[in-house]
Amino acid sequence: SQVKNGDGYTPLGPWIETTLHSPDSVALSVIRNGETVRSSSTSRLPSTLAQVIVYVTSWMSLGPGDVILTGAPETSIAIQPGATVEVAVEGIGSITNDIVREEAVSSSRERPGSGSSRC
């Protein structure tokens, strides 16, 4: 299933933080409907962020504003339409999205990525 790719599937913003003081030990939290369902850290990723950058730049160029998505350091969580999901990153902030069915997004006048994520 396409759960990570497509218009509106990867909400980023409202800004991109360019400086993290300790990028290999940043606390991450996922809050579903007001309940913390996952707490982790970038220290649990299989590679350091420096190693990821070296690998990616070995086969493609990166420029200012480019974003590398590392994936989650632990297993995914189940979400259903109607849920509200917040992802919080220590030192950066959080982003909250309401989960809606694709048909609801397609029939609305909202632009993809404007606060609703597809499921």
Stronger pLDDT, 58 or 66, i.e. the higher one: 58
Residue 55 phi/psi, 5-degree rounding, is -60, -50
CATH code for the domain in which residue 31 is found: 3.90.850.10
Mean pLDDT for the chain? 82
Stronger pLDDT, 109 or 74, i.e. the higher one: 74
CB of 70 closer than 8 Å to CB of 52: yes
User: In the structure, what pLDDT confidence band is assigned to residue 108 with cuts at 50, 70 and 90?
Assistant: low
Residue 18 lies in a domain: no
48 - beta bridge partners?
none
Stronger pLDDT, 3 or 36, i.e. the higher one: 36
d(CA 11, CA 84): 14
Residue 5 phi/psi, 5-degree rounding, is -120, 140
Residue 91 lies in a domain: yes
Residue 45 lies in a domain: yes
Residue 15 lies in a domain: no
Whole domain around residue 103: which residue ranges? 23-118
Strand segments, DSSP code E, in the chain are 27-32, 35-41, 84-89, 93-100, 116-118
Residue 44 lies in a domain: yes
Residue 104 lies in a domain: yes
Model's pTM, two decimal places? Answer: 0.70
CB of 97 closer than 8 Å to CB of 115: yes
Q: Is pLDDT of 53 > 50?
A: yes
State the total domains in the chain. Answer: 1
For residue 92, give the nearest of 4, 21, 34 by alpha carbon. 21
For residue 106, give the nearest of 8, 5, 14, 3 by alpha carbon. 8
